[in-house]
Amino acid sequence: MCGQDMADHERRSGDDQATNRHGHREVTMAAEGPPSSEGGAASDAASVRTTQPVPSSILRHARTPRPEPLRISLVVTHPGGVDMALLHPGVPFVLGRSRPSMMRFEDSALSRTHARFTLTGETGEQVLVEDLDSTNGTWRHGKRLKQAELSIGDAVRLGSLRVRVERLGGEKRSDGAVTSADEGAAHVGGGAARMVEGAARAGESVAYVEPLVAGAGMRPLLARAERAATARIPVLVQGETGTGKEMLARYVHERGPRHEGPLICVNCGAISASLVESHLFGHEKGAFTGAVQPQKGVFEEANGGTLFLDELGELPLAAQATLLRVLESGRITRVGSAREIPVDVRVIAATHRDLKAMSLAGKFREDLYFRLNGVTLVVPPLRERKEEIEPLAEHFLRLANEANGRAVRGIQEETFEALRRYPWPGNVRELRHAIAQAVVLTTSDEISVADLPRAVRDAAPLREAAQFDDTVADDEAAAALEEGGVAHGPSGAGYRSRMLQKERGVLLSALEAAGWNKTKAAQDLQMPLRTLVHKVKTFGLVRPPK
C-alpha cells in the first residue's frame, strides 16, 4: 500500500517548498482498423491474451524522486486491453499465438510465432522487427514488411494487435510524459479483462504495486469499478490484506474524470494517532512541538484529484469525526488555524475490516461509514481466483529473475498444483514473495515443489473459504495451534486452524527477515502496525534468544 512516511511528512517544507505532487493520466493508444491480410481470416474481435503475463506500467506517487534508468518497451493494444513488454538489448522478444512466443494471444490472424522484436542500435533506442513468415503478415503504414527498424513512437500491426515502441524511465517522451515499467500488472483473461495503465508527469518515480489480474473472478468487479469511476460519489474498497485494493483504487482513478489530477495515497494505519489530523489536514507553524513551518495536508495535496485512504478502519474515532466534517463541507482546517480552506477531492477508502460490524460495536462512526459507502467494491481473495495463480506466478518469476540476476526458465506443473492447493492467507503479496524465494534458492532451471516455502509445500487441499475479516483470530484454533493440535468444534474449525498456521508462518518469516523489528515487518507485509502487534500477541510469537 502507499501510505506516506511520517518522518518524510515532518521533513517536508512549507507551502512554497512542499514536495511536488504530479497528476496521473491514462496512456491511450489510437485504435486502427486491421490491414488487409493475405491467406488468412481477419482477427476475431474476442482476441484473448493467455498464459504468459508481462509487466505493464503501474504508477504511484513517491516522495523522493529517483532517476529511472532508460528502458524501451513494446506497448501492445488488443481487444482485451493493453499489455507492455520490457525489451533488453540483444534479447529477442517473440509475439504470436502459442509457444514458444513470449507474449501470446488467441487470435486467428496471428501465426504461432508471428514476429520478433529486438532492441538494437548505437543509442539503444532502435527496435528491429522481423516477420517470422507469418500467414497474415506484419504491417506498417498499410504495407506488409519483412523486417524494419522502429524508432520511439513507431507502431506495427499484427492481426488485431497494434504494437508500439515506447521509451520508459526518467527521460521525457515526445509528449512530455514519463512512464516506468519496472514492476507492474499482469493481464490475462477474456475480452473484458482490463488492467491499469498510466503515465506520470515529469519527475515522478515509481514504486512496487501489487498487480491487478483480470481473470473470470475479477471481471464482474472491474465492470462495477468502471461504472463507479465515472460517478462523483465515494468508493469503499474491501478485501483481505494483499488482494490488490490499492490497485483497484488506481483503476477507478485512472478511468474517472479526475484522471489528470493527482492520486494521493495514505495508509491510515501507519500514522500515529497524535499526528493523524496534521497529516490529513495540515498544520500551521507552532501548532505543536516540531511544527517549525506551515505544512499542507494530503487533502490539499489531492485537490482536484483523488485521495486514497487505505486501512481506514485504523483511523482513531476523533479523526473520524473531523474527516466526516470535511467530507460533508468540502473544507479543511489546518491544525493550529481557524481558517477554512476549500478542497475538491474524491475519496476512495479501503479496509480489510468489516466497517459495518465495527460501527455496530462502536469502533467506527456509523455516519462516516454511510458517507463513505457510496459504492462498495469487494476484492475477492486469491484462493477464490485460482485461475490467476499460474499467470501471476509466471509474472513474478520474470520479475524475480530480473531483480536477482537469475535465469530460471519456468515452473513445473506439479509446482503449479501445489500453488493452487495453498489457501494464500497473504494473497497476491504472499505469492510474489514465495516465487521470489524459489527463484533465489532453486538449483535448477525450473521451480520445483521443493523450492517453495514449507507452508506452501505442506498445504492441504482447500475445502472452504475463510472469513472476510482477516484480523479476527479464532481463539480456540489459535490455542490449539500453539499446542500443536487442531481445533475442535464446528466443521470449519480445522480449516481455520490450518489457515492460522499458514498466517503464523508468514508473520514469523517477516519478523525474522526484519530482525524482529515489528515496524519494518509491518511495512514489509504492508499491514498496519497495530494489526501486526495484535497478531504477534495472538500467536504468542516471541523473539528467540541470541
Lowest mean pLDDT among 46-50, 325-329, 429-433: 46-50
Q: CA–CA separation, 352 vs 314, rounded Å? A: 10
Q: Are strands 93-96 and 103-106 parallel, antiparallel or unpaired?
A: parallel
Mean per-residue pLDDT, 415-442: 92
Please tell me the predicted confidence (pLDDT) of residue 35: 36
Q: Is 214 left (phi over 0), alpha (psi -120 to 50) or beta?
A: beta
**Measured in whole angstroms, how far is the alpha carbon of residue 211 from the centre of its chain?**
4
With cell 506452501, the residue in question is 456
Please tell me the predicted confidence (pLDDT) of residue 123: 61
Please tell me the predicted confidence (pLDDT) of residue 16: 37
- Tens digits of per-residue pLDDT, 17-73? 333 333 332 322 233 333 333 333 333 333 333 333 333 332 233 333 333 445 688
Count of C-beta atoms within a 10 Å radius of residue 513:
14
Please tell me the predicted confidence (pLDDT) of residue 236: 96
Task: Inform me whether the pLDDT recorded for 150 exceeds 50.
Answer: yes
> pLDDT band at residue 97, thresholds of 50, 70 and 90?
confident
Count of C-beta atoms within a 10 Å radius of residue 243:
28
Residues 37 and 137: beta-carbon distance below 8 Å: yes
Element (H, E) at 82: strand 81-87
Residue 321, SS3 per DSSP: helix
- Tens digits of per-residue pLDDT, 499-510? 777 788 888 888
Residue of 366 and 178 predicted with greater confidence: 366
* pTM of the predicted structure, to 2 decimals: 0.51
Residues 14 and 62: beta-carbon distance below 8 Å: no
Please tell me the predicted confidence (pLDDT) of residue 12: 43
Please name each of the domains of the chain with its CATH number.
Answer: 24-201 (2.60.200.20), 224-378 (3.40.50.300), 473-546 (1.10.10.60)
- From 263, 186, 225, select the one nearest 4 (Cα to Cα): 263
Q: What is the mean pLDDT of the chain?
A: 73
Please tell me the predicted confidence (pLDDT) of residue 496: 58
Mean per-residue pLDDT, 171-197: 29
Q: CA–CA separation, 62 vs 261, rounded Å? A: 16
Mean per-residue pLDDT, 424-433: 91
Count of C-beta atoms within a 10 Å radius of residue 409:
10
- From 77, 76, 81, select the one nearest 102 (Cα to Cα): 76
**Measured in whole angstroms, how far is the alpha carbon of residue 253 from the centre of its chain?**
13
> pLDDT band at residue 322, thresholds of 50, 70 and 90?
very high
With cell 481506514, the residue in question is 312
CA distances from 33 to 26, 141, 158, 515 (A): 22, 11, 11, 57
Please tell me the predicted confidence (pLDDT) of residue 372: 92
Residue of 438 and 520 predicted with greater confidence: 438
- 390 phi and psi, to 5 degrees? -65, -50
Please tell me the predicted confidence (pLDDT) of residue 212: 55
- From 75, 98, 77, select the one nearest 86 (Cα to Cα): 75
Please tell me the predicted confidence (pLDDT) of residue 43: 36
Task: Inform me whether the pLDDT recorded for 392 exceeds 80.
Answer: yes
Please tell me the predicted confidence (pLDDT) of residue 128: 93
Count of C-beta atoms within a 10 Å radius of residue 519:
12
Amino acid at 337: S
Mean per-residue pLDDT, 215-244: 87
Q: CA–CA separation, 53 vs 435, rounded Å? A: 15
Residue 93 CB-half CA count within 13 A: 24
Beta bridge partners of 411: 447
Q: CA–CA separation, 70 vs 48, rounded Å? A: 30
- Tens digits of per-residue pLDDT, 151-183? 888 899 998 888 988 875 433 333 322 222 232
Question: What sign for the dihedral angle of Cα 294, 297, 302, 304?
Answer: negative
In 424-495, which ranges are E strands? 446-447
Residues 28 and 86: beta-carbon distance below 8 Å: no
- Tens digits of per-residue pLDDT, 444-479? 999 999 999 988 988 744 433 333 334 333 344 444
> pLDDT band at residue 536, thresholds of 50, 70 and 90?
confident
> pLDDT band at residue 519, thresholds of 50, 70 and 90?
confident
Secondary structure percentages of the chain, helix, strand, coil, to 5: 30, 20, 50
CA distances from 458 to 455, 462, 502 (A): 5, 12, 10
Task: Inform me whether the pLDDT recorded for 6 exceeds 80.
Answer: no
